[in-house]
Amino acid sequence: MSKPKSILKVVLPLLLGVGLVWYSLSKISIPILIQYFKDANYSWIVLGVVMGILSHVSRAYRWIYMVEPLGFKPNFGNSIMAVYSAYLINFTIPRAGEIARASILTNYEGIPFDKGFGTIVAERVADTIMLLSIVAIAFFLEFEFIYDFFAQKFNPSSLILGIAVLLLGVLLVLLFVKKSRSKFALKVKGFVSGLIEGAFSIFKMKKKWAFIGHTFFIWLMYVLMFYVTTFALPELQNIPIVAILIGFILASFSIAATNGGIGSFPEAVVIAFSLFGMADDPSRAFGWIMWSTQTLVIVVLGGLSLLYLPIFNRKKTTV
């Protein structure tokens, strides 16, 4: 990869994040946002933080199941610190955390980098399937609402025609990808085949049900973490479950858009909640509270992990 392209991959998400922070704070005054932080019920926020930590602990434990068939038995302490270090590094360089996590386990557990990184990619396959499943659940729960929403924006006959054109377009793209030898088509085919292969490889694991159980637990904690934090603000306590799901989905995608969701996370929440008639100010404040508290945990525990990793492993080797 060329150096200018690499720089752009780092700089563009950061610039987008800074721009979205400015936009978000231009839509709500700083004193009002601070007041929301002061008035929030921190019992619910702490519960959300605990759920977030449990999801990360489960992720670290789940990873052990993936490397055991390769002949390695990594220390759980190293695994959890590698997870938090990866999350922290992703705030600086998007998607660099996975590389750092594999490197940490190579340095301290002797797991070959290519094998460690391969298991992390397979983990991402399981996580992608779970996120797509949540998208499907939200769609089926509120199909009528989604249809009515777009029907209000567009003429129903035009909407049906648009859906038909979209489906036809998807079919044509699939046929093009299947037959084409272009670089784009090969990348798409490689991604899809990797997704399928990774999904089926899970069922070949010796402890596949434990892995699947941890995967469901991780994503249950993610959704509940998002849900219980809404109780911190009285204005959001009557929010429907489907709004939580759609807010969670958009917020999850926003994390990939900018470094750790900076700027994009609160605005994704506003977009989702406004569909269900929730006011912008409490929605935006919730987005900032949710993002700030979870980010603070990652910065603190990720920083401590990076500092303690060499100390932890020095002690281990001298015992």
Residue 48 exposed, middle or buried by CB count within 10 Å (0-12, 13-18, 19+): buried
Quick check: is 244 in a domain? yes
User: How many domains does the structure of the chain reveal?
Assistant: 1
Asked if the structure places residue 218 within a domain, the reply is yes
Q: What is the mean pLDDT of residues 107-134?
A: 84
Give the residue, 5 or 96, on which the prediction is more confident: 96
Domain hosting residue 199, numbered range: 25-318
Does 191 or 166 have the greater pLDDT score? Answer: 166
Confidence check: pLDDT of 319 > 50? no
Q: What is the pLDDT of residue 283?
A: 94
**Contact residues for 192 (Cβ-Cβ < 8 A; gap 6+):** none
The model scores a pTM over 0.75: yes
Average pLDDT over residues 222-248: 91
Residue 115 covered by a domain = yes
Q: Is 270 in contact with 283 (CB distance < 8 Å)?
A: yes
2: in domain: no
Highest mean pLDDT among 110-114, 181-185, 216-220, 243-247: 216-220
pLDDT (tens digit per residue) in 149-169: 556 655 556 656 666 777 777
C-alpha angle with apex 114: 113 to 115, nearest 5 degrees? Answer: 95
| pLDDT average, residue stretch 177-191 | 68
Is residue 13 one of the residues assigned to a domain? no
| 6 pLDDT above the threshold of 70 | no
Give, in degrees to the nearest 5, the angle at Cα 8 between 6 and 14.
120
Q: At what angle do helices 264-274 and 3-27 cross, to 10 degrees?
A: 50
Residue 15 lies in a domain: no
